[in-house]
Amino acid sequence: MGDFGENLRRQREALGVDLEAISAVTKISVRLLQAIEGEQFERLPGGVFNLNFVRQYARHLRLDEEKIIAGYRQATAPPPVDPQAPPPRAAPSTQWPVLSAVRQQRWLRLWVPVGLLVLALVLALAGGWRRWRAAQVTAVALPKAASPVPPAPAPLAQAQPAEAAPRAEVGAAPVNLEIRATQAVWVSAAADGQIRLRETMKPNQSQLVTAEKQIWLWIGDAASVVLTLNGKPQPAIGEKGHVKRVVCTREGIRILAPAAGAESSSTPPADGRASPNL
């Protein structure tokens, strides 16, 4: 580890801050913070992202951002070129030596007749294929003596409406849920089984969660949020201090039965037992 990463680590330890706390504030993963301290810059995304991560890290540690950025540029700069070093050796040439005029004439006398023969063969095959294709087209155009009348495509026309129903289901409107906090409240949300939100929302903060089928919610204080489903305001889901679990679909919001001890708990448990997905 060089001086750049070692200085950052010492400053962080002097402030008594761990990487997890910095990650929670800056939204930079612990793995990337470890790469910055370890000067393993190849593990970072690269470009302006690296500069932004280093700047946020320095700001959180109360360091001079421009000085830290300059140290990062110096740590990632390529090594200087030694003027005394010998120049790199050129790769050996792989080109064939130029043929002499006599050998070129021999090659021409050999390959020109071969090329003409191949060309004549290609033209003959092309002409034969055109004649065979014309014969096939003529045979198809001749009417058949006992050709049966093709059946009417009525069954296909009747089967088309049955196939249209699933396509209408695919284009159904999604579930759009707006969550607005009236005061600080813990909220966890999962859309179609995927976690979309898990944080303590601030007063007047809004979050929009979208799903195709349903949204699961675990709310630490039922009276601290206002829900709007597909543009329609929803009634209150509970009283102040009550933990609520709800399921939101296109049809509306359904409040689930409280888990054991959940009504009196202001903060949901960390294991997320609100549903299989929370």
58 band by pLDDT with thresholds 50, 70 and 90: confident
How far lies 115's CA from each of 111, 122, 227, in Å?
Answer: 6, 11, 80
- The span from the CA of 146 to the CA of 148, in Å, is 6
Distance of CA 66 to the CA centre of its chain: 32
> What's residue 103's pLDDT?
79
pTM value surpassing 0.95? no
Mean pLDDT over each residue of the chain, to the nearest integer: 78
Beta-carbon contacts of residue 69 (< 8 Å; ≥ 6 apart): 51, 54, 55, 58
State the pLDDT at residue 161: 44
Residue 217 burial (CB count, 10 A):
26
**pLDDT band at residue 206 using 50, 70 and 90 as cut-offs:** very high
Lowest mean pLDDT among 18-22, 42-46, 118-122, 152-156: 152-156
Kindly report the three-state secondary structure assignment for every residue of 170-232. HCCCCEEEEEEECCCEEEEEEECCEEEEEEEECCCCEEEEEECCCEEEEECCHHHEEEEECCE
Q: Is the pLDDT of residue 82 over 80?
A: no
pLDDT for res 230: 94
User: What percent of the chain has pLDDT above 90?
Assistant: 28
Tens digit of each residue's pLDDT (9 = 90 or more) over 152-183: 555 444 444 444 444 444 456 799 999 999 99
What is residue 246's predicted lDDT score, i.e. its pLDDT?
92
**What single letter denotes the amino acid at residue 4?**
F
pLDDT of residue 83: 64
**Residue 263 binned pLDDT confidence (cut-offs 50, 70, 90):** low
Decide if pLDDT at 251 tops 70: yes
SS3 state at 20: helix
Instruction: Answer yes or no: is pLDDT of 213 > 50.
Output: yes
| The two structure tokens encoding residue 65 | 């951002």
- Taken in order of first residue, the domains within the chain and their CATH numbers are 3-76 (1.10.260.40), 175-255 (2.60.40)
Give the bridge partners for 177, in sequence order. Answer: 209, 229
